[in-house]
Structure formats: structure tokens, C-alpha cells
Structure 1
């Protein structure tokens, strides 16, 4: 399906990094005193103009696996890199994994069908020379390869410069979030209705280090210590979100100026749940957990040519479903040798006046604490450290009332569904590593 007049849509897919479920104004952001805070006026406006999803799920509670699912439209576990977090740069003794350039991707499929494609921001799917955005279908790249970047130094956690224009290192002054926003605007200003485009705008914000535009001196103080365990605050974190929100406003304004807004599908979400300063209320858990706080993320979509605005939708969906949705909207089939695991949301979202039923199980697994999860409608099966739980997410989104003994039939059904799914995909390799960024003293430990 295309737009109302048959013209293929443009896509702007905006990915925040480690943003919590309730970190936006429209999802419940509050200040340190518990009062509502106006942290994201442009994204709140996008939600009013489009659809806000209350049950948008990331494919993983950590970064690179979700990004693999997004770019391939498939379970990240089908690729060896999907079992590893963080991906490394090939230092002595490190394993080297990434997205194989031979694997079809959203940008390669769209590019092959005549779309202009660009990634602005974070890649984190493997390091050059073996891997890179332009080896995997993007026509343009401006951003960084690592999992985190200094907002002023533009260096990775080893202190190595990591800002690039295509394959060339780049030296620029400025706050990283603003540089990415301005580059995205520059790309849109070069577009016309004659040729559709995909813009992937993958911010570092609000990932550590916790630095706003006003914190350049703090950036110099921490130097290579990008994890910033001795710094940050809720106020700084929320300013980082506001800077990102302002930049997204620049992008939306550029679409308006170019006459492209009506037939552009804009999607905003996060790669996983939030961490140190994030707000996930009423959910519990955070990044690294298969509790809702680790996988349920803010999700907003706007496409004026096709969808009426002002809707709130409780349709459960995962990151890779948006890959399938964009390909469906562009009328571009997936590669026959790499069938999609994601499912297009277009049929459900095109129903009027509300989304049509969408009966489908969602699955996760995580080597850390041997976690497993299945979501089916309101029910969720969770296994952690050998213990099993069953939650009614409608009545208990905080996942505190374990219904396993009261509803043994649901527990057995969802456990069986997970086992069948798990047997159909490659196992997690014994040497796969998923490491915590922060220790027990730095983050509250989720209780199950």
C-alpha cells in the first residue's frame, strides 16, 4: 500500500538510546518532586498528530540486538551478533561480530527499489573494515560506530575519535545531539517528492555520559570515562531529552518546508528500556531485564496521508514489525531467502475507527540471568534464574502478582509456545557475552 494517491511514502525512523517508558511528557515524565515536566513538547505534539502506542516493545532489552532486528526485520538471534552485547572493535583478544554485509536489510531493499537512504547517528552493528552502514545498504552515513560516544569529544569509551562521514573520519565542534539533528535536516532539505527516501535518525541521547549542551566542562573532566558513574542527575538527563526533542522538531519542520510531511511515515521509539535516571512507571525493571521496564518503550507513529491523528493504541508490537510495515508501505518485497519475522502493522492500523485484532505471540530471551518471556494479549510468561511467573499485564503492569499457581493452563500454554519458538531459532552460543554496564551499586536491582 502507498499513500492515498499511490505515491510511495518516505520514512523517518527515529531511535532514542536507553529512553525509559515514562520519560516523555505524553507518557508521564515527572521532575524530582513528582510534578509533570514539559520535557518533550515536539514529541508530545507528534503523538497528538499521530498514534501513541502503549504497548510498543523493543526486540531486546539491550542495544545491538534490537538494532539487528530493526535493520533485518528478523529475529536478531538468527545472526551471531544478536547474541553479543556490547559488540567490540576487535581489540586484542576480542571477538569480532557484526551485521554481515551480504545480509539483506531495510535500507538495501528500499535502496534497490529506488529509495534514497541515510543513517544519521549510531550504528553499533560492527566495526570497519568488516562491517559498516554503507556496506549494509545505506547510501549516506554521518555518525559513530560504537555503542556510546562523548557528546563533545565525539570519542568512544577507549578515547578513540569516532565521528564519520561515510568512511572518512570527521572533526567537528559541537554537541553531538545537535550535530545529528542538523545533519538530518540537511538530508531532508536535499529531498523532493520525486524520489522517496528512508532516513534513519539514531540518536545517542539519552545514553551515558549524562551531558547537556551546558556541560562541556564536565565532558573535559570525565575524559575517557564515558560511563560517567560519578555524574549526571535527573535534571541533566531530562535536559538531554529536551535537546533531542528540539532537534526532532527541526526535522519535522524541515519536512513541512519541503512539502513532504503528509506522505512521510515518522516513527519514534527507543532501542530498549531506560537505565540509571530513567522513569519507567508504572513498569518495573529496566535495561537488561525482560520485565516490562526493560522492553516496553515509548512508541509514536505519524503518517497524515493514511492515518488519523489523536489515537492511543494498545496493540502489542515489536521493533521488527516496523521494518515489515515500512517495506509493505513501500510495496517492496523481502528477499526470498531471508523471510521476515516481523509482521506488517498496516492492515491493523488501517482499520477504522480503531486497530483490528492482532493475535500473535511475542518472544524474548536473554542470557543474562537466563531470562525468557512470552507475551500473548494481556498475559505474560516470564522465566528468570529458573523461576517462572505469569502476569496479567492489564491488571498488573508492574508485574507484582504472580498468577502462575492460579492460572496453570495459561502458564503451560505460554511456556510451551516459548519452547517451540526457541527450538526454531539458533541457540545462544556458549561463549556469547552480555555484560552489565553498571554494577549492583550503581543501579537498583530488579526484584522478581
Structure 2
């Protein structure tokens, strides 16, 4: 394998530190027992000793420290302890497996990260949260899992007296006080919501996406200050080490969800300054297996540094170490000997490594072939800690398997792979699968245009006891077993998928008609009510466009625009939306009449409204819908004409977030809301939300442009009528938006 010189030296230093500092019983590659026999001192009697080994001088504490390491997109066959043919050298993780318990049939609950983490942290199938929790994106507002409704593992551990820390990729919700780590019971955290570049920790902006317990998202100072250029495994690993040192008197729980080896592919020496990249652009290192290997080996060495800190303070014996991956390996990963990879429901997409190490609780090494699931890790953590969950969990504690008391059983596991695209209003169930005993059932659909219900599908049936690679499809030759597994799949679905009481439902049905229109209306109306920030609603400005231009064209904050062209003298029209209520404005205003001159729209500067949370409501009648014409812009979120009768919400240019189909010459109702408490901007068209986006910085009464884009050139200006432009303090909710659309010219009242 080609090694870049600088990367090799840096990695060698770090791995060398791990080798030197970490106890030999972790990193040894030879026969474990013979190696142990040659070691003297306090590390005798480790996990590889015979049952009831030599330790015993110090009784185990009733509350062990617990660290759960979670890799991101690591393949089942990437570690030597699961695949002797791998090209990755990971002595720390291999040593933990050799001296602990290695689970060969462990499963993630999903083929991708966020859905799997929802199950892990709640201890329940993510489908119990609702079908919205099955795909990657979740809720359109990034509310994620509300802690007051769905308690998670750290909340239970805090009640049991644990100090709790989270350092890594969070990915289950982005609202402070609602679904961020602090709301979910973590005392200390330093995280990113999603994958970023590894050195400047950015993705959609020129600012860091790191956030922590002290300052929230994107704030100055705090733990996220001065971290630009630092490799993410070092960011998170060093934070975990600091947490251990501050809480060494224990007990403590650390959840460390590494970003490694998820894309972008950046090894420890691939530091590229991305701060000036175009927004939304991540420059990768070398997108190849070599870089993947470097990233995993660095993660392994960083894990060794953390274990050395435990050893330094005498905490290693009574610390339960757990290691797994969130889903199957990405395309550069090694999932051998399994079929498939991430994003598939074959074994390579859902079967993942699981290692448990705990000298005081595991007296000899074991290999467990009993099928286990990610929520079992949650149940094990709580059981080891003596913590009590306040609700029934779906997982089973693995502690009996630590000491040989575990009894084999046939367990029913199910998976659903859903794809939902809020921007294009697509929702379909891509695949389903279940395992019962050694039988595995997979049903894959092939969505086709113009066929919204009866998608063709393929069924697979495998006997994993003789066909681990899922090469021999038994569906046609074993009809009785096929029917059994169809029933088992339906049984799991009935028990584990919540379609009746979720906090939110997907806003458009899938190919099977779920959710129903009634559920979409009732559940999402309540969801919208619950999530709106409690800011008093008040009409602050209203542009009626009836008699003069003092509040309309050519004006910025009440003053004439110096370079406004004479042709921009406004024209007021008697053309208004049909069905306008009594007392509604009687005229509209025409803008964009003279393309080729400066914009003739309206600009509301930032800070004009007294509240940091606000809303704008306006009616539009476009003469044309030329592609790229701006209608409304706030920050970098724009409502654009897309041509062919389409309006599109875009972020940073043409990154589509949502769309609606309209026609030139028709009146269109548009509502924009910005919620400072959540840094959230949302768009509604004709009473329906079409997009919602967390922006890069707190909103704080942003500048808002209507009918122009704020640039001196006249390209891409809106050409048409404006009617009844209203600005509110406070966030209009879905019901209020619907009433404004239903009754043109009306005013929302709290």
C-alpha cells in the first residue's frame, strides 16, 4: 500500500503512543495467554484470564464507568478481529475484542446513520417514533427527537448519578433545549450535527458546525474556538480525555460517536483550508481505500490514547468499553464476507461489529453468535449502571453473555428503508427486511414514474446458517418458509411501526398510502402548534399599495433609493386576489416592469422589526416565471421562479429545498417565517409549507427583500404584481397561514 511520507510519520507517532501507553494485554497480537504469562504488575488478571481470574484484590464498583465508541460507516470486515484478510491494522480494537466479548451477529437498526442513532439513544426501534424517523432527514425543521417526549439513555444515567458527556456526531436533532445533547441528559458535549470536513468542520457555510454545551451553535469563544485545522478525531478524543480527567472520581458515561470513516475522505494529513470554499462545497482528500484505512487506523490509535488515560488513573478495570458501527460499511469499506453495504438491507448494510470489554465484568474472552440489535447496547449500558428506564425498551441486556449465562433464542428483527424528499414531495418505502432465527427475508421495490402505488418488487429468502453471503435465494423453492417470513415481517411491522401517535408524520403518503390525508392534517397541525416559538404575534408593517410610493417601490426603510430609475415610478392596479375580505386593500402594485434597470422591489433592512422572530405574508401575480427570478430572499434562502410553472426554495444558489407548481397570471400566496429561537426559516406557498431550513447563524431579524435580490444588476428580477405585504413580529403557525391564504386581505391575530 502506498504511504505518503508525512502521513506515515504522523500516524506512526500516534500509534506508537498508543502501543507504548496502552497496557500490553490490549495490543498484543500473539497468543493472549502466553503474552499474559510474561507480564507482571497490576495488569494481571485481565479479561483474558480464566473464569474467576486472579484479580479480586479490589471488589468491582457497583457503578462502572462506561464508554461507548461508535464508528461511522465502518464495514463488518474492516477489523482483523472480524476478518483476518483486512488491510487495516487496528491493534487497540483488535486487542479489546481478543480480551473481551466479540458479537458476530450484531445488527444496526438501519442502513444509515441518523435512523440508527435514533434507535440507539432511545433504546427503541426508530419506527416507534413514526415513519418520519426511518429515512435520513427526519422532520423538515430538524426538530428530531424531542427529549420531553422521547427520553434517551443519558437522561436515565443522570438519574442514576452519572456524569454524562457526548463528543462526536450527534445527528438526532438540532434544536437547543429540545433535541440537542443538553436536552437529552448530557452535561458536557462537543458535537457536529452532520458530517463536515475534518479540519475546519464546515459544510454549508464558512463557519464551524461544531457546537458545545457552553455557547450553542456558531457562537464565539467556548470549546469551539481556535479548533480550525484540528482533525476531528483529535477534537472529539481530546474532549473525551478532558472529561475523564474532570470526572475521574466517577461514575461517568461517555458517548463518543466518531465521524470516522464517513465521507469526506480526509486522512490525518489531508488538511485543506476549506474556509474560503464556495458554501456547500467540501473538498476531500483522496477518495480511495488508502485514505479510508488511514482514517480507521488513526481512530484506533486515538482510542488507545483514551484507554491510556483510564489506565493512568486506575479506571481501566471498572470501565465498560463498548464499540460498534452505526450501520454497514460505505462503498470503500470492507463488509466481507457479507453481501451489500450501507444503504442496502442485505447483511453488509446492517450487520456491524460489536465489541465489549470490561475486566471487572468479563472474566474471560468469548465469541457470541446470538443475534443482537443496537438497542441491546442501550439496555446493557443501563443494566451495568443500575439505571432504570422510565419506559419499556426494545433491547435486551447483554450482561448474561459477558459471563456465559446467556441462552440462545430466536429473536425477530425488522428493518425498513424509507426515502423521503421534502423538496420534491417524494415518499416511498424502498425496502423491508426481517430476520427470525437463521432465516432472512428481504423485499426490495423498484419505484417507477407514473406508477405511484403498485411498484414492482423482488423478494429474497436466505438461510444465514449456510449462506452468510446471501447468494442463494430460496424464495421460489421454499414457499412455506417464504410465507412464514412474510408473516414475521408483518408481525414486526404491526408491533414496531407507530402510525397512530407520532409527533410528526411525513407530509405526503408513500406508495401504500401511509400516512393518510387525515393523519397528515391532524398530527402535523398539532406538531406545528407545539414547535412554534412562544413569541407574541403582532402586525408591525402593512404595505397596502393604495395611493403612494412612500412605503413601496424605490424606497429603503422609508428613504428613496438614490439610483432608482425614473421608469420605476410605481403603477398601482385594481387587480387583487379573488375572494378578498371586506376592508382588504383595494389595489396591488406592479414591480419589475423595466428589466434592464435597477430592481424595483422592496427591501426591509435587518433590525427593522422589534422581534427577532417574525413572519411576512404577501400575494403575488407573476406576469412571467423566468428561471432564476427572485421573489423573496432572506439570508441565503430564496424563493425563486424556476420556469415551467414552478417556484423553488433554494439555499446558496440552486440547492433545492422545496418547490410548488403555479401558473403565470394566477394569484399566489407566499408566507415566510423566521424563528430566532431555532435559527429556522420556513416558506409556505398557497397555505402549504414547501421548505424549512436551519440557517448558518442565528436569525436576529434578518434583512428581507421582496421582488429583488439586492444587487445592482437587473437580471433575475420578479416581474408582476404585489398585494398586501404584511410583516409580523412572531411566527405564524400552519393554521394561521392557512387562514391568510383562505381569506385574502385578512390579518392574522393572536
TM-score, normalization: structure 2? 0.53
Deviation at 1:5, TM superposition (A): 4.0
Q: Which moved more, 1:20-29 or 1:41-50?
A: 20-29
Q: Which moved more, 1:202-211 or 1:75-84?
A: 75-84
Using the alignment, how far apart are the partners of 1:156 and 1:326 within structure 2? 33
Using the alignment, how far apart are the partners of 2:467 and 2:171 within structure 1? 35
1:101-120 matches, cutoff 5 A? 101-102=147-148, 103-120=150-167
After TM superposition, which residue ranges in structure 1, 4 or more long, deviate above 6 angstroms?
220-223
What does residue 561 of structure 2 align with?
none
Q: Which runs of 5+ in 1 are unaligned?
A: 31-35, 89-93, 435-448
1:89-238 matches, cutoff 5 A? 94-102=140-148, 103-129=150-176, 130-145=178-193, 147-168=194-215, 169=219, 170-171=224-225, 172-173=227-228, 174-193=230-249, 195-217=250-272, 231-238=286-293
Deviation at 1:139, TM superposition (A): 0.8
> C-alpha deviations, 1:371-393, integer Å up to 9, x for none?
11111222111111122111011
Q: Which runs of 5+ in 2 are unaligned?
A: 1-57, 420-428, 446-456, 511-750
What does residue 442 of structure 1 align with?
none
**Aligned pair partner of 1:261 in 307, 316, 333:** 316
**Aligned pair partner of 1:73 in 123, 137, 143:** 123
SS in 2 for 1:14: strand
What does residue 364 of structure 1 align with?
415
2:53 paired with 1:53? no
Deviation at 1:158, TM superposition (A): 4.5
What does residue 322 of structure 1 align with?
377
Say whether the 8 Å CA contact 2:361–2:402 is kept in structure 1. Answer: no
**Aligned pair partner of 2:396 in 332, 340, 343:** 343
What does residue 444 of structure 2 align with?
384
Say whether the 8 Å CA contact 2:368–2:401 is kept in structure 1. Answer: no
> C-alpha deviations, 1:251-283, integer Å up to 9, x for none?
111111121111111111111111131111111
What does residue 731 of structure 2 align with?
none
Using the alignment, how far apart are the partners of 2:354 and 2:120 within structure 1? 14
Aligned length: 416
Say whether the 8 Å CA contact 1:379–1:391 is kept in structure 2. Answer: yes
> C-alpha deviations, 1:47-71, integer Å up to 9, x for none?
1111122111111111111111111
Deviation at 1:221, TM superposition (A): 9.2
Pick the structure with greater CA Rg.
2
SS in 1 for 2:104: strand
CA RMSD of aligned residues (A): 2.5
- CA gap of 1:226–1:76, structure 2 versus 1, over 3 A, is farther
2:68 paired with 1:7? no
> C-alpha deviations, 1:347-371, integer Å up to 9, x for none?
243326xx42133111111124631
Using the alignment, how far apart are the partners of 1:307 and 1:334 within structure 2? 24
1:426-441 matches, cutoff 5 A? 426-427=498-499, 429-431=505-507
Deviation at 1:231, TM superposition (A): 4.5
SS in 2 for 1:370: strand
Whichever structure has more strand as a proportion of its residues is 2
Using the alignment, how far apart are the partners of 2:386 and 2:374 within structure 1? 19
Whichever structure has more helix as a proportion of its residues is 1
Q: Which moved more, 1:411-420 or 1:318-327?
A: 411-420
> C-alpha deviations, 1:143-180, integer Å up to 9, x for none?
212x2011111113455421122141422131111111
RCO greater where, 1 or 2, for CA within 8 Å and sep 6 or more? 1
